[in-house]
Structure 1
Amino acid sequence: MFKRIFWVGLGFSLGVIAVTKAQAYVKANTPDAARQFLLGPDQDHVGMKTLEGLVNEFNATRRAREAELNKQYIGEDR
């Protein structure tokens, strides 16, 4: 089990490093118009916007499923 946790953590860490390096390379070696197209107008907060979007989508899906289960098993609409 500890081996699995180690390898998953190592893979996650390497993925984060690879994405960070790739974004730094894109920022350093592409013209401004291409960067605007790839990363959007707010280039400094791309990771945070992505994470925020994932959390919001997860919460919306969780709430919808919770409401569905409440309606199915309890018969309440919350």
Structure 2
Amino acid sequence: MFKRLFWVSIGVCVGVVAVTKAQAYVKANTPDTARQLLLGPDQDHVTMRTLEGLVNEFNAARRAREAELNAKYSDGTN
């Protein structure tokens, strides 16, 4: 169990470093027009926008599933 947790955390860390390095490379070596196409107009907050999008998508899926389960198992006496 702890070995898996260790290796998963190592993989996450390596992934974060790789994405950070790739974004830095793109920022340094592409013209502004192409960079805006890839990263959007707000290039300094790409990571936060991505995380916010993931959290919003997760919450929407969670709410939809919760509503589905409530409709399926609720007896309507609320």
TM-score (norm: length of structure 1): 0.92
Segments of structure 2 that go 5 or more residues without pairing to the other structure are none
Q: Which residue of 1 aligns with 2:33?
A: 33
| Cα distance change on mapping 1:63 and 1:46 into 2, 3 Å | same
Q: In the comparison of the two structures, how many residue pairs are matched?
A: 77
For residues 64 and 74 of structure 1, the distance between their equivalents in structure 2, rounded to whole angstroms, comes to 15
For residues 49 and 56 of structure 1, the distance between their equivalents in structure 2, rounded to whole angstroms, comes to 10
For residues 43 and 5 of structure 1, the distance between their equivalents in structure 2, rounded to whole angstroms, comes to 33
Q: Which residue of 2 aligns with 1:67?
A: 67
TM-score (norm: length of structure 2): 0.92
Identity %: 78
CA RMSD of aligned residues (A): 1.4
Segments of structure 1 that go 5 or more residues without pairing to the other structure are none
For residues 64 and 6 of structure 2, the distance between their equivalents in structure 1, rounded to whole angstroms, comes to 34
Q: Which residue of 2 aligns with 1:52?
A: 52
